[in-house]
Structures are given as C-alpha cells and as structure tokens.
A and B are shown apart, each in its own frame.
Chain A
Amino acid sequence: MKRKPKRKELGFITQVEMSKPKTKLVYWFMFAILMVISLCMIVPALWILVSGFKDTEEFLRVPPTLVPQSFHPEKIKYVWEKFDYVLYFKNTFVLAAGTILFTIVLNGLAGYVLSRLKPRGSRAVFTMIVLLMMIPGTVSMVPLYMTICDFPYLHFSMLNSYTALWIMAGANCFNILIFKSFFDSLPKAYIEAAQIDGYNNLQIFYKIIIPLSVPVIMTISILTFNASWGDFLFPYLILTDKKMYTISIFLFRNKSGSYPIDIYMIMLTLSILPPAIIFVFLQKHIIGGMTLGGIKE
C-alpha cells in the first residue's frame, strides 16, 4: 500500500472540516462501521484458511476451537500432491487466457467499430447488443448446449474443448459496451492529428488507439480473468473429461463425500490463491479502471 498524503479530496466531509472534534467523531464512527463490514468480508475466508490447517484431531474436537491451536502448513503440500492441482490450474489458466484473448480482440474491435468507424447500419447492431445484454439466459441454456454439442450446419462438437467457452466470450455484450464507451471518451483531437499526419485507419488503431487503451484493456482483462476463473455452469456441462477439469469443476465434483472437511477447506484455499495473488498485485487496475468513465453506463 502506498502512503498517500492524508488529505481529503473526496466526499461530503471536506478537508476544512476535518479539524473539528464533531467531524472527527463522525469520521471515526464511519471508520468503525466500515471496519466491521470489512471484517465481515474477510473473516469467512480467513476462517477457512486457518481451520484447514488445524490438525485433524483439533478439527473434530467437541466443543470446537474458534482460534486454532495447531497449525500445519504441510497439509497444503499433501493436498497439492494428492490432487492434480498443476493440471487444474493449468486448465483454468488456459481457459482464462483464451477467454481474455477473445474478449480483448473481438469485444475491443467491436467496440471500436461501433464507437469510431460507425459503418452505416451499425446503429442497429449497437441497439441489438444493448438489448441482448438484458435478455435472460434461462431459455437458451439447453439450446446453447445443443449448439455446442453439434454445431448447426457444420456438425462438429465442441465438447471437451475450451473452444466454445473462448468463442462465447466474443459475444459478451457488456464488454463491448465498456469498450465502446471508453473509445467514445477518447479525445477526438488525437485521431484528427493522426489523420493529418497521413495515418490510415489501421495505423491509427495500432499506433494511437491501442496505446491509449492500455488501462481499459488491463481492467477488462483482470475482470475477465476473475470471471473465467470462477466460471462454473458451462465449463461444467462442456468439460466432462477429467483431464479438462477447471478448478471449479474439480471443487464441485469433490464437494461431498470423498475427503475430510479440513482437506476440502485447503482445496478451497488453494483455488482462491491464484486470483488472490493477481488481485493483490493488480488491484489498482480494477478499482482505478472503473473510474475511467468506462463503467458509468
């Protein structure tokens, strides 16, 4: 965490007021509420983390211990070796990477076309995209699955492959809109200047638009990564081969039965680890990216 100068620039309490005792009271009261909320958010995850590392005897003790008295980090090694985590992580990464690629290229391009090139008739496409974003998926779950089983006209199956899941990212209307509104917000002056310099459209896209879009691309990539890491229903329906399982499918399929709870808790902890690490390092892109004006609708 970077130390920022403690100066209030935002909110209904202004910097000037901060020196008054009454304001201070209000401020710290709010601080306390927020602290309670933030603890509520973090405690469940923390509990899973520490409970999993208790020794099994303590885990099953009655009455149970709230604060663990034993800590066995070697259990994580055991879980790591017992299950094919390398495979599940790799699969989930492959799924997420492909999804990000499709999202950025296709949604980005679509957003760019709709925002900047605006070919005649594209307004209709835009309207359709906005409409589709709101249309529920309940009726299309089965037909979509059928499409993946046996693609219309061409009759090939995309079961047990990530292809369908990647391609479906291309139809993410929400991301298209984010890209579009981001491109809308780019100052026209840059592009006009480039046109004067004799750049063609493609050059403008590569030399001007893409460098300017790095923040929005980062934000969408991270959000897509998270969504993809936790995606469940369609991966679960499509990837039936054990060798293709993602981490969520693995967790779901082992949720009951086979393993003691403390082991399962470590399995949960491990599944959260990669996105958590990425989040810790890249969180400014998520929280910063949102204020780019992209997601204000």
Chain B
Amino acid sequence: MGELFASYNILGAFGLTILLAVFSAIGSLLIGTVVAIMRVSPIDFLNKVGAFYVNIVRNTPLTLIIVFCNIGFIVNLGMSFTNDIARNNIIWAIIGLSFYHAAFVCEALRSGVNTVPVGQAEAARSIGLTFSQSLSEVLLPQAFRGAITPLGNTLIALTKNTTVATAIGVAEISGLMKEMMEFRADLIIVIFLLVAIGFVILTLPIGILTTRLSTKLAVKR
C-alpha cells in the first residue's frame, strides 16, 4: 500500500478529481441557473432553446460529450485556451462537465420553483414586481432552498462523473487506477478499495450535508 503511494501520485490524481469537481460544480450551477431562467421566462423562444438544450444534453452519453469537447471544440473549432495540451484538456473537461450537469441543475431548480406556492408569485406580481424582480427577489431564493436535495444529488453525480475526463487523457484518479491495475495485477482489489473509499469520503459528506441543509433551510409553510 505504502509502495503504491510511493510509486504513483495518488493524492495528486485525487486532487485533480477534486479540482474538476469544484470548478465544474460552479460552472454547472451558473449555466444551469441561466437555463432554468430561460425555461420559466415569458419569452417563448428562450423557453424552447432551453428545453432543446436540456433534452439534447440529458439524452447524450457524457463520454460522448467529453470526447466531442476535445475533437469537436479543440481540434475542429480551434478553441484552445493555452498551448499546454494537458491543461487545455482539463479546461475543456471542466466545460464539458459543466454543460452536461447544467441540464440536471436546471431540472433541479425547476422542481425547486415548483415547491414555491403559487400565492408567492401572485403576491410578487401584485405588489408590482417585474418578472426579473419577482424571480430574483422572491422565487429563486426559495427555489434554491427547495432544490437542495436534487442539487446535492447532482453534485454527487458530478463528483463521480469527473472520472469520465480520462477519456480525453486528463490525469485524474480513474485513469491512474487503470494504469496501476495494469502494472500491479496482484493488487487489483487493494487499488479498487483505495479509490472506492476515496470516493465514499468525497461524496458521503455531500449527502449528509445536503440532507441537513434541506431540512434546515426548508421554507416553513
């Protein structure tokens, strides 16, 4: 075991996994909120674009999206952020993960909006708030609180899905695990348990935290 840690940069790879998860979480929350606003907005066109986006992304395998980020965006559209191939792939993996999970964040927020009683929206309108005002002052704050459980679930799924970034050669933990298993076939079970427990340690607190938060922040009605 110590031998594994000595010859492979396990902590570094887990660090990259966490980095991917944190930045993709921020990205997907931002994009998902924008799409959710489009989905509830009075402008029919934006509504349809949002629905189209969610339907396409939700029904496409993440592996395909990540691979397309590399050969579609980097190679064909020439969208590179840096000359360093490894770093560029990390950035595009984050973008791909963000756009994929944004669809689920959007759905979570919509379910959150549905927990807000109709009277709240009507009250907001009757005191003269515009759509954007009632959304930002009244509805979204409550929707976020009502959507904590599905948002937490999306965050957990996202943390686990960072492993798919290995498809474009990002050196996160699952790629390292595969390499370790090929060279140390005698330690397959130890290696698996090591990585699996690492993920349990990463995801379990998110689950416990969201369960706590969702009861603590639940809007009393």
**A interacts with B:** no
A residues apposed to B, CB below 8 Å: none
